Amino acid sequence: MKKFLLYFFAFVFICFLMPALLTKQDKPVNSEKIEENGNNSNTKNEIKETGENGEYQYKNYGKIQLLHKKTGEIEEVDLDQYLCHVVSAEMPADYEKEALKAQAVVARTYTIYKVKNKKHENADICDDSTCCQAWISKEDRLARWEENKRESNWNKIEQCVKETKGKIITYQNEPINAFFHANSGGTTELPVNVWGGSAFPYLQVIQTAGEEGYQQYASEVAFSREEFIKKLKTKYEDIQIDFENKEDIKILEYTDSNRVKTIKFGNHEISGVEARTLLGLKSTNFEITQEGDRIKFKVKGYGHGVGMSQTGSNTMAKEGRNYEEIIHHFYSNVEIKEINSL
């Protein structure tokens, strides 16, 4: 009887109790699965950072508030879509891709600088080139291109913006005030000579070769004596010039980039920047000659001359330089970083 009971209890233990004990020992496997789930969760977060399709995702600045100056409307727009409108307004679509990519990074940087240093009360930036940077609607842009180039031009610009997605130019880990212009006339200018104030250490006088072949490089403006006086009187009503005296129209001082810093017009001495504005010249890099009763200005370059020259960047791109090399040429001691790293 005792043997029977011993066998009976052994049978129960083997059939019922032992499987139960073994089942309880499986718990560490579940803890490993929790860890795996945690890793999967991190992977999903990483995908969210870069986007499900692998594209760069903005943590900040992905949307901006754009002020349309003519209507006063403020529109929330996607940053990179906005940049397509800017690049297409600011640089010819037939420029080299690396030049267009440089322009995209410069325009993105300029935009973020404006966002961080707000000028408009309820908006980040406006569409007026005299205040911020140029912008054009896609409809208007396409209408100005030849019909057979419209689609390819727009796709090219979109691709250049996309291939530089998230990239900005920084100095000491802050976005720079990324000025740019059409043609430097061979040498860029210091911002202090244009707008005064403090100098930006990353904006220096830079030599740029290969700009002579562009129509923006050289221009000429001539006035009769009467026209000349009339233009100056819009600012200086008491202007008096003795045209027979060569000392009455004379450049007094040049900047380091050989632009006119100070000029004498009769009884007034004014800056080269003001002369450019009053007379409608394309640059402050000019010479003056008098031929009979005509005053002639021979001008080199187009724009204020500060920062990146667009024609200069296109020349560099044609020579095989990439957009990063172009940026480092025109902006001193800067880094190209991702916005998310700020």
200 belongs to a structural domain: no
172 belongs to a structural domain: yes
123 belongs to a structural domain: yes
Q: Are residues 105 and 167 in the same domain?
A: yes
Q: Are residues 68 and 176 in the same domain?
A: yes
Q: Specify the pLDDT at position 54.
A: 64
Assess contact for 208 and 312: CB atoms under 8 A: yes
Please choose, from the candidates 21, 80, 27, the residue with its C-alpha nearest in 3D space to the C-alpha of residue 55: 80
- Neighbouring residues of 172: CB distance < 8 A, sequence distance ≥ 6: none
Tokens 């991190």 appear where?
Answer: 42
**Structural domains counted in the chain:** 2
260 belongs to a structural domain: yes
Query: How many whole angstroms separate alpha carbon 170 and alpha carbon 342?
Result: 9
Q: Are residues 149 and 246 in the same domain?
A: no
26 belongs to a structural domain: no
Cα→Cα distances 249→21, 31, 128, 236, 290, Å: 106, 88, 34, 15, 9
Q: Specify the pLDDT at position 45.
A: 31
End-to-end CA distance of the chain: 84
Q: Are residues 267 and 313 in the same domain?
A: no
Please choose, from the candidates 116, 165, 107, the residue with its C-alpha nearest in 3D space to the C-alpha of residue 136: 107
Q: Are residues 135 and 234 in the same domain?
A: no
Assess contact for 141 and 154: CB atoms under 8 A: yes
Q: Are residues 311 and 176 in the same domain?
A: yes
Query: How many whole angstroms separate alpha carbon 123 and alpha carbon 131?
Result: 13
Quick check: pTM over 0.85?
A: no
Residue range(s) defining the domain that contains residue 76: 63-182+307-341
Q: Are residues 111 and 162 in the same domain?
A: yes
Distance of CA 133 to the CA centre of its chain: 9
Q: Specify the pLDDT at position 204.
A: 97
Q: Are residues 174 and 90 in the same domain?
A: yes
15 belongs to a structural domain: no
Q: Are residues 156 and 262 in the same domain?
A: no
Helix or strand or coil: residue 175? strand
Concatenated DSSP letters for 258-307?
S-EEEEEETTEEEEHHHHHHHHT-S-S-EEEEEETTEEEEEEESBS---S
Assess contact for 327 and 310: CB atoms under 8 A: no
Distance of CA 173 to the CA centre of its chain: 16
- Neighbouring residues of 235: CB distance < 8 A, sequence distance ≥ 6: 274, 278
Q: Are residues 134 and 98 in the same domain?
A: yes
Per-residue pLDDT tens listing for the chain (342 residues): 444 444 545 554 445 444 444 444 333 333 222 222 333 333 333 333 455 556 789 999 999 999 999 999 999 999 999 999 999 999 999 999 999 999 999 999 999 999 999 889 899 999 999 999 999 999 999 999 999 999 999 999 999 999 999 999 999 999 999 999 999 999 999 999 999 988 899 999 999 999 999 999 999 999 999 999 999 999 999 999 999 999 999 999 999 999 999 999 999 999 999 999 999 999 999 999 999 999 999 999 999 999 999 999 999 999 999 999 999 999 999 999 999 998
Assess contact for 144 and 271: CB atoms under 8 A: no
Q: Are residues 225 and 332 in the same domain?
A: no
Beta partners for residue 123, in sequence order: none
Query: How many whole angstroms separate alpha carbon 63 and alpha carbon 303?
Result: 30
DSSP 16: I
For the sheet containing 294-300, what is the strand order?
218-224, 294-300, 286-291
58 belongs to a structural domain: no
193 belongs to a structural domain: no
Query: How many whole angstroms separate alpha carbon 113 and alpha carbon 155?
Result: 27
